[in-house]
Each structure stands twice: as C-alpha cells, then as structure tokens.
Structure 1
Amino acid sequence: MPCFILFTNVAASAIPTGFLLETTKIISKAIRKSEDSVTVRIHPGQMMTHGGTTDPCANSELQSIGNMGPEDNVEMSKQISEFLKEKLGIDSTRNYIRFTDLRSHEVGYKGTTFEALWR
C-alpha cells in the first residue's frame, strides 16, 4: 500500500511524459513492495519556495506499512532524491521527504483494514 505524494513548484508542463509510471517503479524498488500496490500522487505547479528562492523544489511523503526504519529511510531518500534531480531538476537540498510508517489498522482497503485482512 505504499503511497508517494509529491508537491512541487515544477510546472505540470515540465513533468516528463511517463513520470507517474517511472515514479511508481522507483518507489516500488525503494520500498521493496510490488508495483501493483503503489500509489503515486503528483501535485505540480505549487506556489512554493525553499530557502528563500523559487528554484525547483518539493515536499514529499512516502507512506507505507513496514519496510521503513533508519537505514531503510536513508537508502530510500537517496534513491528518491537522485530520481527527482534527474527527472525534474530538483536538487536534494530542496526537497524534504517525510517517511510515515503506518500501522496496519490505520489503513483501510477492500472495505476493511489491512490488519483485519492479514488475520
């Protein structure tokens, strides 16, 4: 159920074709979960600054049940940052990534929760 949410001041017209699907692959690999369980939401063209400039920047969040922790998050931060630099020109110093490790009872799916599904 990983969900990656990206808010960026990069214009929608500057988002490369196929970016959503490429992002899905990167997140799937980083979090070590199948692509068919990953959701990606991109919010381009945000009115935002970082460090007092309007150069390309972002705030992002990766939510998942598990596969997160101090060492995991460092590696995921590296992979996500490199991808955003390559694809959108967002320097790693201009994006904060919030990692949220959700508990299975906090996520609804199929009319129930993951905790109930996994019992």
Structure 2
Amino acid sequence: MPFIQCYTNLSRDKLPENFVEWLSELGSQVLEKGIERFVTTVIPDMMMMRHGTTDPAMFIQIHSIGSFDAERNPSYTDKLLEAIAEKVNLPAKRVVLHYFPVEKMMVGMRPL
C-alpha cells in the first residue's frame, strides 16, 4: 500500500484542480501499483525553504512495499520530477522526493 505525502508552500488555490487524484494516478503509473492501493495526502500552505529561498517548492515523501532500490529510483525520480514540475509549473529543482521502503508487516489494513 503506497502512501504519498506532498508538502508544499503553494496555496491550495495555486494547485491544479484534482491534484490529489492526479498525484495518486501518477504514483500508480510510475510505481506500477493499482491506484486503489494508494493513500495520498496533499498539504498546501506550508512554511518551507529550499535552496535558501521560500520560493514555491514541494517536498514529497513516498512510502511503499517492495518498490525502492538503487536501480529503480533514478527512473522514478526522472518520471516524477518531470510530471510534477510541469503540472504545478515549478522548476524541477524546486521539487524534492524522499523514498521510504516499507516492510509489509509495518502496514495495518483490511485486504481489498
């Protein structure tokens, strides 16, 4: 069950309509996991600094079982940064991704 947490200093009205759904779909495509498995949160209006400025930026954490390793992460990064930067009209250098590998035993939920 992947979890996406998106923190941004953009205000909610500056994010595209249905951004949380779009981000879930993007994660589903890139990680090749069913969208029904995703839990996605978007937290706008954060106090945030990146590269020494408070210009618009995003910090995105992605937690997933069996998805992350040194071979696959660069491909994920390229696809995610390109799509996200285009969608929210930010330079890719203003978006940071943080991958968290999760063990299955660390997630509690009822089966789908």
The alignment's TM-score, normalised by the length of structure 2, stands at 0.91
Structure 1 segments unaligned to the other structure (5+ residues):
111-116
RMSD: 1.3
Tell whether 2:20 aligns with 1:20.
yes
Name the aligned partner's letter for residue 6 of structure 2: L
Which one has the largest radius of gyration? 1
Structure 2 segments unaligned to the other structure (5+ residues):
none
Partner of 1:85: 85
2:68 and 2:53 map into 1 onto residues whose CA distance is: 31
Tell whether 2:68 aligns with 1:68.
yes
The alignment's TM-score, normalised by the length of structure 1, stands at 0.86
2:26 and 2:54 map into 1 onto residues whose CA distance is: 26
Q: How many residue pairs get matched?
A: 111
Equivalent runs, 1:1-119 vs 2, <5 Å: 1-110=1-110
Q: Is contact 1:84-1:91 (8 Å) kept?
A: no
Residues 48-82 of structure 1, C-alpha deviation per residue, up to 9 Å, x if partnerless? 11112122111111100012211211111112111
Higher helix proportion: 1
1:94 and 1:64 map into 2 onto residues whose CA distance is: 23
Query: Displacement, 1:19?
Result: 1.2
Q: Is contact 1:10-1:88 (8 Å) kept?
A: no
Percent of pairs identical after alignment? 24
